[in-house]
Amino acid sequence: MKTKLTHLHQKITRIAGTNWGLNKDLRRRLFKTVAERMILHGAAAWAYPLSARQSRLINSIQRKFLLNITGAYSSIPTAALQIPQLSPFNTVFQAELLAIQEACLWASKTNQQIKVWSDRESSLHSIASIDTKSPIAQQTQEILLKSTNIKLGWINAHVGYSGNEAADVLVKKATQEGIPTFIPAARNHIKSLLQKESIIRWQKEWDNGETGRSVHNGLPKVKTTPTPWQRPEIMFVTGHVLFPTYLKRFNIRSSDSCGCGKLGNPLHYATSCMFTTSYHLTKPSADLEPLWWKRVMNNNNSRAKIKKLIHFIAENETLLFPKHGDNN
């Protein structure tokens, strides 16, 4: 097929010259209707899976046609049509900016009026912005200041301008065989990496820490957004303020037991105290306690019950914790 298409290419060129004597739209239509159909004919049968060699071959066939369609000079060495290949930590935004910069750099060496088109508004905005943080955009601004023959413009990506489509083909090509090029990772990219890393470390500390273990059971995953918990749930999960176990620890009471005689911690009131039976949840076996906290705190019905329980305890303190255990 390569031979067939090369012949077709030579024939058209011989008959019509390098731009085939036609305007861009017609050239594009010619490629679409004749050559592309020849390439795609029976493609379903042979195109999948495409070997690296096959895909290189198709690229090299397409390149000839691309040059004619776009009006790029075929004397441009292959290297000039090769696009830098970036690292995985670079963003599409950086790639697009770099492409614009390369185009401006090339245009700055000629005296012709040249218009550089991009279908990415964000890149153009960044170049037009006086306080852009992107070094590539800043360098491009410098080129544009010195070279008044270059103009930038936006085109719609979905209208099918042949030059823009040709650029897309070249971009795909660059991901496979571009010249490896180093540009530092973008600010925002590094920022999000650091955020992820700090969450991982925070999570490790939270998992292996010694304090706040009952809270850890209810909230095993760290996150930067506040929990939807309200004060009652926080009191319950931390065991703070209301409970005899807490009051004893801070010497507000001399005993940590409930009025019923058992240890007065949150689990006691939520599952077994005889004074709070209307608010009871199922009692977990000792080894399933962490899981119980997690389930309870993530279940809306259980949390609603916990809220009522906390209100009940707050209102009936004197009943639940008899005065004789008090320090006052």
Longest dimension (CA), the chain: 111
CB of 188 to Zn ion, least distance (A): 54
The rounded distance, in Å, linking the Cα atoms of 297 and 306 is 9
Stretch that binds Zn ion, among 137-145, 149-157, 269-277, 304-312 (CB under 5 A): 269-277
273 binds Zn ion per the rule CB under 5 A: yes
CB of 201 to Zn ion, least distance (A): 40
Nearer to Zn ion, 124 or 273 (CB): 273
313 binds Zn ion per the rule CB under 5 A: no
Number of residues that bind Zn ion (CB under 5 A): 3
127 neighbors 134 (Cβ within 8 angstroms): no
Which of 32-49 are b and which e, b meaning 16 or more Cβ less than 10 Å from the residue's Cβ?
eeebeeebeeeeeeeeee
258 binds Zn ion per the rule CB under 5 A: yes
- Output the CA torsion sign for 259, 260, 266, 270: negative
What lies within 8 Å, CB to CB, of 85 at 6+ separation is 174, 175, 177, 178, 179, 180, 181
Nearer to Zn ion, 69 or 258 (CB): 258
What lies within 8 Å, CB to CB, of 185 at 6+ separation is 87, 89, 90, 193
Nearer to Zn ion, 83 or 270 (CB): 270
What lies within 8 Å, CB to CB, of 77 at 6+ separation is none
95 binds Zn ion per the rule CB under 5 A: no
Nearer to Zn ion, 199 or 260 (CB): 260
CA 94 vs. chain centroid, Å, equals 15
Nearer to Zn ion, 273 or 297 (CB): 273
222 binds Zn ion per the rule CB under 5 A: no
CB of 273 to Zn ion, least distance (A): 3
CB of 219 to Zn ion, least distance (A): 26
CB of 249 to Zn ion, least distance (A): 18
Nearer to Zn ion, 35 or 273 (CB): 273
**C-alpha pair distances (Å), 126 with each of 60, 133, 185, 215:** 34, 8, 16, 45
260 binds Zn ion per the rule CB under 5 A: yes
- Binding positions for Zn ion, rule: CB under 5 A: 258, 260, 273
